[in-house]
Structure 1
Amino acid sequence: MKIFFRNIHLYLSLASGLIIAVVCFTGGVLVFEKELEQAWHPERYFVVPAATPRQPLTQLTAAVRAYKPDARIAGLKVYADPTRTVEISLAGAPGGPGDGRKPEAARAERSGQPGTGAADKGQNGKEGQGPNAGKGGGEGGRGPVVFVNPYTAAVTGELNYRETFFFSMMALHRGMVGGVVGKLVVGVSTLLFLVIIGTGLVLWWPASRKAMQQRLQVKWSGGWKRLNHDLHVVLGFYSALVLFVFAFTGLAWSFEWFNKGIYAVTNSPLERPEPPVSVVPAGLAALTPAASDTATPAQPATSATAPSFSADAALAQAQKLAPMAVYYSLQLPKDPTGSIKVATLRPNALYDNATDEVYLDQYSGRVLKSQTYEQRNLGQRVRGLFKPVHTGSIFGWPSKIVSLVVCLLGVTFPITGTIMWLNRLKKGRKKQRKLATAA
């Protein structure tokens, strides 16, 4: 029976080993993406707190408009930490070169259809939590982020994620460099990796207590063949569970059926409810354009259509509702009937996107809808856990270090396994030659 499992383990590894090695390497690089970005560009993210009070958000957005006159501000992220800059997100051109979505996806987002485009992105704009988050391309749908000093309103930097080193690593990690085919190859390789891990555990299982001891310790004093064997078998055993979890959660970014399965298993609705709409004042109703599939994205507000409830007022209201929040993320409405979405993160939140949300009328500031993280349906909460588990950020630095080590080990296993296979072939040929000589 073990010969059967050995053959499955071998041939699946030969078929997908190179892809697995690349995915593990790029995954290891991405583990500390946030920390490395902040270390490489501290001026973007951090400032020295000033004795003067913070500038109002209207002043900060005015500085961004002066910096990029043609840009449309899509959202703001304000941290409670006095050393952090304010992050102002600019809207990408839907369906255009800066948008990773297809034109029909952009139109669906404009029409408010849930589960598409930006609706599937988390608060950092990188990962989806909606049912269609695995369809891909979400990272390209956002525009650049401009960082502003909250005390002086000076622009401290700009980040266009698609132009970063980490976007290249993420594109390799998910197979996006190869388009639909590339994502499929990575997804199928991930499925094969789950089988490889399972058959590897079957092959590892010792027949005696003495063999158990040998398979739990690396014999560093042995020859290079024994050392290579132990590096593959022993370290493979210790990292198997973590690699299995990484591979299993990684399927969510490769296959739509996997995401649908999460919602089916948890008996949760697949589609998100429509966001609430603002009540357009009578004087502005006649100026509101009719919605259509070919409608252009909302333009910067004019004096005739400007909402009476400002971003500063929305922030003040959010601070009253959640005075201890780590950050306040404001998503501005895209059209005259849209609402202001405010997401807040509690200090004891399970992960970075486990936010509470409130929707405000863009004209009156009235609370239209609110939802705590606990009030999300089970499918959303389970799907939301996939990213922090997959990246190893779920328990902070300890789990990130473990994730980095395991990812690096994952790179070595196709190499050590191939060496074991070649040694076995060489040994088999020598045995055949001896038998031929004896005959």
Structure 2
Amino acid sequence: MKTFFRNIHLYLSLVSGLVIAVVCLTGAGLVFEKELEQTWHPERYFVAPAATQRPLSELTTAVRAYKPGSRITGLKVYADPGRTVEFTLADVPAEVPKAGARAGRGNDQAAGSENARDGKSGEAGKAGGEGGRGPTVFVNPGTAAITGELNYRETVFFTLMAVHRGMVGGTVGKLVVGVSTVLFLFILGTGLVLWWPATRKAVKQRLNVKWSGGWKRLNHDLHIVLGFYAALFLFVFAFTGLAWSFEWFNNGIYALTNSPLERPVPPVSAAPTAAAAFTPDAALTLARQLAPAARFYSLQLPKDAAGSIRVATLRPGAAYDNATDEIYLDQYSGRLLQTQTYEQRSLGQRVRGLFKPVHTGAIFGWPSKIISLLMCLLGFTFPITGTILWLNRLKKARKKSARQLVA
């Protein structure tokens, strides 16, 4: 029986090993993306706390002067006075709302809201796809000075993400990565079957690397022993990664949790009036009153005359960055149209929202990120050590056959 599983393990590895190695290596490079960005460009993210902060209207004016013609789609204000305010821009100038736009606005904002919840909005923008997301501009809240600009497509992390998600091969590359990920799940399963010791005495050998052995024995242990320790983590990373490869997998999450697949449609604002529009400053003040202890306040501005202002707030101790509470405000009167806490989301939305922090290792902060980094690096080595192990066995089998022929 083990021969059968060994053949399955071998042939699946030969088919997908190169893709798995590349995906694991690029995944390792993405684990500490946020921390590395902040380390390389601290001026973008951190400033000396000021006694008073400028109103958002003044910061908005500074951004528009810095990027004439750009449309501000959202902004993020941190409770930490030492953090800059982040303005997200669209690639194209704001369009003049057309007649009948009110009817179609709801679905657009619903999609944006749902994507933001599970982390897709950032990925869509990073990939330069839907929504026309442009650069992020950072502003000092105390001085209104522009401290930096981030164009994700120009960073090394964009390249790593493109390789990680689809081997820079578009739809075909995405499918190749997805299929290889499915094969990886079977490789891990058959690997555990092959690892299982035949006797209790052999357990110790399968749990410890013999560093003093020859290079062949060391290669064997690096593949077999470390493979056992990494298998569960790699299985979780691969399983959650399927959510970015196959739509049927995402649909299955909602089906298994008996949750509606349709994204909720956010409320729309009342008809425009002659009165001044409700400003981001007023929206931020109201959000701070409703959630005074929030770690940040993320405002998504309306795209047309019918849209509402969406404000997402993150509680202290939240499970992950997208586990936010949300409020929707009329863009003209500021009237509170709708609220939704994280707990009020459907089970499917909450489960799907967990996939990204689990996949990236961010779910428990630095400890889980370090584990994720180590496991990804090990995942990169396994196709290499496994190939060497296979070649050594082939060489040994040839020598045995030659001896038998001589005899």
Give the TM bin, normalised by the shorter chain.
Answer: over 0.9
Instruction: State the secondary structure of the residue aligned to 2:120.
Output: coil
Deviation at 1:348, TM superposition (A): 1.3
When residues 197 and 177 of structure 1 are mapped into structure 2, their CA distance, relative to the original with a 3 A threshold, is: same
**How far apart are the structure 2 equivalents of 1:281 and 1:400?**
48
Deviation at 1:332, TM superposition (A): 0.4
Q: What is the identity, as a one-letter code, of the residue corresponding to 1:276?
A: P
Deviation at 1:365, TM superposition (A): 0.5
TM-score, with structure 1 as normaliser: 0.87
Residue equivalent to 2:345: 376
Given the alignment, which residue of 92, 113, 116 partners 2:107? 113
What aligned pairs does 1:19-58 form with structure 2 within 5 A after superposition? Answer: 19-51=19-51, 53-58=52-57
Given the alignment, which residue of 149, 152, 157 partners 1:161? 152
**Deviations 1:222-242, CA, capped at 9 Å, x for gaps:** 111111000000000000000
TM-score, with structure 2 as normaliser: 0.93
What aligned pairs does 1:291-370 form with structure 2 within 5 A after superposition? Answer: 307-370=276-339
Deviation at 1:141, TM superposition (A): 4.1
Residue equivalent to 2:6: 6
Deviation at 1:126, TM superposition (A): 5.2
Partners of 2:106 and 2:307 within 8 A in 1 = no
**How far apart are the structure 2 equivalents of 1:28 and 1:110?**
41
Instruction: State the secondary structure of the residue aligned to 1:83.
Output: coil
**How far apart are the structure 1 equivalents of 2:110 and 2:203?**
50
**Deviations 1:362-408, CA, capped at 9 Å, x for gaps:** 01111000000000000000000000000001001100000000000
When residues 139 and 278 of structure 1 are mapped into structure 2, their CA distance, relative to the original with a 3 A threshold, is: closer
**How far apart are the structure 2 equivalents of 1:38 and 1:392?**
18
**How far apart are the structure 1 equivalents of 2:26 and 2:153?**
16
Residue equivalent to 2:265: 274
Residue equivalent to 1:62: 61
Residue equivalent to 1:286: none
Q: Does 1:419 align with 2:375?
A: no
Deviation at 1:122, TM superposition (A): 2.2
Given the alignment, which residue of 380, 399, 410 partners 2:379? 410
**Deviations 1:293-333, CA, capped at 9 Å, x for gaps:** xxxxxxxxxxxxx8521000000000000000000000000
Given the alignment, which residue of 179, 195, 203 partners 2:186? 195
Deviation at 1:143, TM superposition (A): 1.3
When residues 155 and 137 of structure 1 are mapped into structure 2, their CA distance, relative to the original with a 3 A threshold, is: closer
When residues 342 and 115 of structure 1 are mapped into structure 2, their CA distance, relative to the original with a 3 A threshold, is: closer
Deviation at 1:218, TM superposition (A): 0.4
Deviation at 1:17, TM superposition (A): 0.4
Given the alignment, which residue of 185, 204, 209 partners 2:195? 204
Partners of 2:110 and 2:263 within 8 A in 1 = no
Deviation at 1:210, TM superposition (A): 1.0
**How far apart are the structure 2 equivalents of 1:214 and 1:431?**
25
When residues 253 and 139 of structure 1 are mapped into structure 2, their CA distance, relative to the original with a 3 A threshold, is: farther
Q: Does 1:399 align with 2:393?
A: no
Partners of 1:118 and 1:141 within 8 A in 2 = no
Given the alignment, which residue of 165, 168, 178 partners 2:169? 178
**How far apart are the structure 2 equivalents of 1:221 and 1:121?**
51
**Deviations 1:245-288, CA, capped at 9 Å, x for gaps:** 000000000000000000000000001121100001355xxxxx
When residues 327 and 43 of structure 1 are mapped into structure 2, their CA distance, relative to the original with a 3 A threshold, is: same
**How far apart are the structure 1 equivalents of 2:121 and 2:350?**
12
RMSD, matched Cα: 2.2
**How far apart are the structure 2 equivalents of 1:378 and 1:143?**
32
Instruction: State the secondary structure of the residue aligned to 1:75.
Output: strand
**Deviations 1:147-194, CA, capped at 9 Å, x for gaps:** 000010000000111111111101110016100000000000000000
When residues 142 and 307 of structure 1 are mapped into structure 2, their CA distance, relative to the original with a 3 A threshold, is: farther
Residue equivalent to 2:204: 213
**Deviations 1:121-155, CA, capped at 9 Å, x for gaps:** 326x953599xx9xx87588421100000010000
Which residues of structure 1 form unaligned runs of 5+? Answer: 95-106, 284-305
**How far apart are the structure 1 equivalents of 2:128 and 2:234?**
25
What aligned pairs does 1:246-261 form with structure 2 within 5 A after superposition? Answer: 246-261=237-252
Partners of 1:307 and 1:362 within 8 A in 2 = no
Partners of 1:117 and 1:141 within 8 A in 2 = no
Q: Does 1:151 align with 2:145?
A: no
Residue equivalent to 2:120: 127
The number of residue pairs the alignment matches comes to: 398
When residues 66 and 128 of structure 1 are mapped into structure 2, their CA distance, relative to the original with a 3 A threshold, is: closer
**How far apart are the structure 1 equivalents of 2:320 and 2:165?**
22
**How far apart are the structure 1 equivalents of 2:128 and 2:347?**
25
Instruction: State the secondary structure of the residue aligned to 1:394.
Output: helix
When residues 80 and 141 of structure 1 are mapped into structure 2, their CA distance, relative to the original with a 3 A threshold, is: same
Residue equivalent to 1:237: 228
